[in-house]
Amino acid sequence: MVLFFFCVALLVAGYFIYGALMEKIFVIKPQRQTPAYAMGDGVDYVPMSRAKVWLIQVLNIAGTGPIFGPILGALYGPVAMLWIVIGCVFAGAVHDYFCGMISIRNGGASIPTMAGRYIGAPMKHIINFIALTLLVLVGVVFFTSPAGLLTSLTEQILGRSGEAVMKGNPLHDNLALTWVCIIFVYYIIATLLPIDKIIGRIYPLFGALLMFMTAGMLFGLLFEGIPLFQTVGLQNGVSLSDFFTNFQPKGGNELPIWPLIFVTITCGAISGFHATQTPMMARCTENEREARFIFYGAMITEGVIALIWCMVGISFYPDMQVLQETIKAGTPSKVVYDAAMSMLGTFGGILAVLGVVVLPITSGDTAFRAARLQIAEFLNGYGLNADQRNLGKRLMITVPLFVVGVILTKVDFSVLWRYFSWANQTTATIMLWTAAAYLYRHGKFHWVCTIPAIFMTQICACYLFFDQKIGFGWIWAKVGFGEPERLWQAAMTCGVIIAAVFTVLFFIAFKPERAKAVGGIAPALDD
């Protein structure tokens, strides 16, 4: 347990030390008017207090990612906690802070606009497609997971058991459909109405549930007598080597730590989904001095949530094989349900599960909202009037989005999660390169973004060439690299080469002198 509090202390220290450094590098201007006032429209550009914006940001970015991801990552052992801490402080929180600040300096611009402005027009179209895909996937993933948890809770309250709670039984399926419909209606309303009408008003209640869930699960870990790291057989303590050991039951060669841990644990470490959500809060921030607390601080908070659920995954079940079988039988939501009910009792468990339910719902609604705003921004850029102050035009974009979302709910959850993970980290990588280009072009210390951008480029490329279901891993099998070890070596090599190429192109294309010569930056907007 000492290890957990040490990790939390590192996250908090990261906020005060490294977060302050990010603020100093960017150079905030408290006297500068933010988009919330300069572009206020009463719908999306609405000034809100620092505390409220921070709370909404936490709830927006913390979907099931910092819960499901760390539970899945727990299968790898203590290395999951190492990645959460390092990734959160040096990559994820940096990503969120610069995304928020650059958006503020560009009128609350979305990530495609920012990428197009600082990397180039082709990247704007690429990230438009990737980010929209990610947002829809998030909306769908965070659509089905809370419906499943609410179905389980309702069945327990009704006293159902046995075949009545199994998929395929009419009682179970009808109940699940009912919850899906309720969440669906809420998503539509939250996507269409002004941000301060529903999201700004009910999120404090959701935040209270979130805090209870976080504190409750921590209490359970502290006082329920569950030995930390019992899952991996480390009752006598954790050595340094254990943080680099793969405890994955399926075998380290088939499911290696690198690159899989970095795409399994996304939210809580670094997540591109945050780049789609942060601009919405950039449009509501009252002063630039609040940005570190809102953006960097919200990510640190998510890191703490991820650590708690990683510990639950590592220590709740008697061995790693049981954890694996539980996840296989009911997705990570079953782990959440089992742990909460066991550690906190029925009443406390219900409240904790509701706290978990809140996270995907509050991310799903803003995912569709961000998708609407991104599409509108794209259409406006081509001279098509998509003024989102008009309800009819909001509906014209919203309805097709939800139709696509409903269709995707029929796709297997595990397949959706794979696509979500890769799209998520690819979006994060592009945002990091965007932030690095911004700093480099302005003659500022860009390495705080460039190094994590290089790292994530290698991870995304390596994963794409390793995975045999959604990537190019099957190609290696065709040319004689089908063995896990050889497949991994080939994927790693491809990842290193691609990261090196991107790095060279970055320093060639984005020199400050070149940017000024071609009109790549506009100080009037940026500074």
Which pLDDT score is estimated for 65? Answer: 76
User: Which is more confident, 103 or 219?
Assistant: 103
pLDDT at 22: 97
Q: Is residue 396 domain-resident?
A: yes
The confidence score (pLDDT) of residue 224 equals 67
Rounded mean pLDDT, 6-15: 95
Q: Is residue 9's pLDDT more than 90?
A: yes
Looking at residue 230, its pLDDT comes to: 53
d(C-alpha 272, C-alpha 257), whole Å:
20
Residue 226 pLDDT grade (very low, low, confident, very high; cuts 50, 70, 90): low
Of the listed ranges 235-239, 281-285, 294-298, the least confidently predicted one is: 235-239
Tell me which amino acid residue 308 is: I
In a domain, 514, yes or no: no
Query: Distance from CA of residue 11 to its chain's centroid?
Result: 17
CATH number at residue 209: 1.20.1740
For the stretch 189-208, pLDDT in tens is 776 776 556 666 776 777 77
Q: Which residues contact 306 (CB under 8 A, 6 or more apart)?
A: 66, 67, 69, 70, 84, 88, 265, 267, 268, 269
Token pair belonging to 267: 């939210």
CA gap 178, 497 in Å, rounded: 50
pLDDT grade for 213, boundaries at 50, 70 and 90: confident
CA distance 487 to 465: 9
Q: Is the pLDDT of residue 64 over 80?
A: no
Question: What is residue 41's three-state secondary structure?
Answer: coil
Q: Is this prediction's pTM over 0.75?
A: yes
Question: What is residue 34's DSSP assignment?
Answer: P
pLDDT of 444 reads: 93
Cα gap 112→249, rounded to integer Å? 40
- Tens of pLDDT, residues 489-523: 888 999 999 999 999 999 988 776 555 544 444 44
Mean pLDDT check: name the lowest of 74-83, 386-395, 504-513: 386-395
CA distances in angstroms from 333 to 12, 67, 197, 464, listed in the order given: 28, 9, 30, 27
- pLDDT of 218: 83
Please report which residue ranges of 442-483 form alpha helices under DSSP H.
447-466, 473-478
The answer to whether position 527 is within a domain reads no
pLDDT at 368: 79
Structure confidence at residue 177 as a pLDDT band (50, 70, 90): confident
pLDDT for res 144? 72
Tell whether 442 is covered by a domain.
no
Q: Is residue 364 part of a domain?
A: yes
Mean pLDDT of the chain: 82
Q: 515 in a domain, yes or no? A: no
Res. 480: pLDDT tops 70: no
Residue 449 pLDDT class (50, 70, 90 cuts): very high
Structurally, how many domains does the chain consist of? 1
Q: Is 26 inside a domain boundary?
A: yes
Of 71-75, 140-144, 341-345, the range with the lowest mean pLDDT is 140-144
- Residue 439 within a domain: no
* pLDDT of 476 strictly over 90: no
User: By C-alpha distance, which of 430, 488, 422, 429 is closest to 455?
Assistant: 429
How do residues 285-329 score in pLDDT, each as one tens digit? Answer: 999 999 999 999 999 999 999 999 998 888 888 778 888 888 876
Instruction: Read off the pLDDT of each residue in 408-434 and give the average, rounded to a whole number.
Output: 81
Q: Which of 378, 379, 332 is nearest to 356 (CA)?
A: 332
- Two tokens, residue 426: 């690819």
- One DSSP character per residue, 63-105 reads SSHHHHHHHHHGGG-THHHHHHHHHIIIIIHHHHHHHHHHHHH
DSSP 8-class letter at 272: T
In 3-state terms, what secondary structure has residue 194? coil
Listed ranges 12-26, 117-131, 140-154, 318-332; the one with the highest mean pLDDT: 12-26
Report pLDDT for 61: 86
In contact, 487 and 467? CB cutoff 8 Å: no
* Phi, psi dihedral angles at 222 (to 5 degrees): -75, -35
Query: Which stretch of 27-31, 225-229, 256-260, 499-503 has the lowest confidence by average pLDDT?
Result: 225-229
Tell me, what's the pLDDT at 519? Answer: 47
**For residue 524, is pLDDT > 50?**
no
Straight-line distance from the first to the last Cα atom of the chain, in angstroms, rounded to the nearest whole number:
46
Q: Which domain holds residue 28?
A: 2-411
Give the H or E element holding residue 486. helix 484-509
